[in-house]
Amino acid sequence: MGQDGAHLFTAGKPHHLLSLGRIPPRPHLENNLINLGLYDDLQQAVAELGLDFEALIDQEEEPGLGSGGLGRLAACYLDSLATLRIPTIGYGIRYEFGIFTQEIRDGRQEEVADQWLRKGNPWEVARPEIVYDIPFGGHTEPGVDADGRYRVRWIPDRLVRGVAYDTMITGYDSPAVIMLRLFRAEATTAFDLRSFNIGDYYGAVHDKIGSENLTKILYPNDEPLAGRQLRLMQQFFFVSCALRDMIRIYLQREKTLGRFHEKYAVQLNDTHPAIAVAELMRLLIRCP
């Protein structure tokens, strides 16, 4: 893994935003043109070509990756930090589907899946070299370490791999950009050939489906128990990925974690990432 974030420490104390959702105020193309001061020039250039500028802007999907004021707050917070040239990484989940899309069928409103990625996302950069295996389930085992101290070891039932995707966020009239890093869930083993060869075709992809469901959709229905479990797993997955990423970046410049608290300022957007406090303690105890 390269020195992808170590430069943050050269510009002061970096900020990190942990947010389960984010709603950009406008599509990336329009927002970047405004921030770079190119909106009017490009609008004129497109008009001279006989094209509809608004229709061009509308071609970009507006992802519903947040809900209400909290989603807007996260986006505005990142835009402001970029404008103020404050080194920042925003962390969240790369949902495959947004919150929902409304359609009218037989005179009634229906909610359908928001397939915001069906045309791809040209603004993001996949970072397959930045991955973290996040533990779930299992049991704990008490014991004593080499120094005679009591320890409890977590033996997870399964691992879900978080893969990073980066998007640059521009600031208004600012030469600076900051990073939005979203994590997508994948199975550590995508295909079980042994199960497939004995005719268990569903079993061959069981781990893949179960893992990828973790980042399928924003705010799954939490009325059933399964929905509440999925929400909690989403929260743990993304905060653990984010904290592991922060530790990795920090250790690119430091040998120990003794000054970790001096190097980061972390903003938790509402209660969704609150489990980050407990997870950070667990990771610090586990780390050398």
Exposed e or buried b per residue across 182-203, where buried means at least 16 C-beta atoms within 10 angstroms of its C-beta:
bbbbbbeeeebeebeeeeeeee
Q: What is the CA radius of gyration of the chain?
A: 21
Parallel, antiparallel, or unpaired for β 150-155 and 158-170?
unpaired
Q: Would you call 161 helix, strand, or coil by DSSP?
A: strand
Residue 10: predicted pLDDT: 54
Residue 219: predicted pLDDT: 77
pLDDT tens per residue across span 106-158: 888 888 877 888 888 899 999 999 999 999 999 999 999 888 989 888 999 99
Parallel, antiparallel, or unpaired for β 98-105 and 108-114?
antiparallel
Contact criterion met (CB below 8 Å) for 226 and 213 = no
What φ, ψ does residue 121 adopt, rounded to 5°? -135, 95
Residue 95: is it exposed, middle or buried by C-beta count within 10 angstroms (0-12/13-18/19+)?
A: buried
The terminus-to-terminus CA distance of the chain in angstroms comes to: 19
Q: Would you call 44 helix, strand, or coil by DSSP?
A: helix
Residue 287: predicted pLDDT: 63
Which tokens in the block code for residue 225? 């128990």
Contact criterion met (CB below 8 Å) for 127 and 148 = no
* pTM as predicted: 0.88
Q: Provide the residue type at 257 as one letter.
A: L
Residue 2: predicted pLDDT: 42
User: pLDDT tens, position by position, for the chain (288 residues)?
Assistant: 345 655 555 556 788 889 988 766 678 899 999 999 999 999 999 999 999 999 999 888 777 777 667 777 888 889 999 999 999 999 999 998 877 777 888 888 888 877 888 888 899 999 999 999 999 999 999 999 888 989 888 999 999 999 999 999 999 999 889 999 999 999 988 777 777 778 877 777 778 888 888 998 887 778 899 889 999 999 999 999 999 999 999 999 888 898 898 888 999 988 889 999 999 999 998 765
Contact criterion met (CB below 8 Å) for 8 and 87 = yes
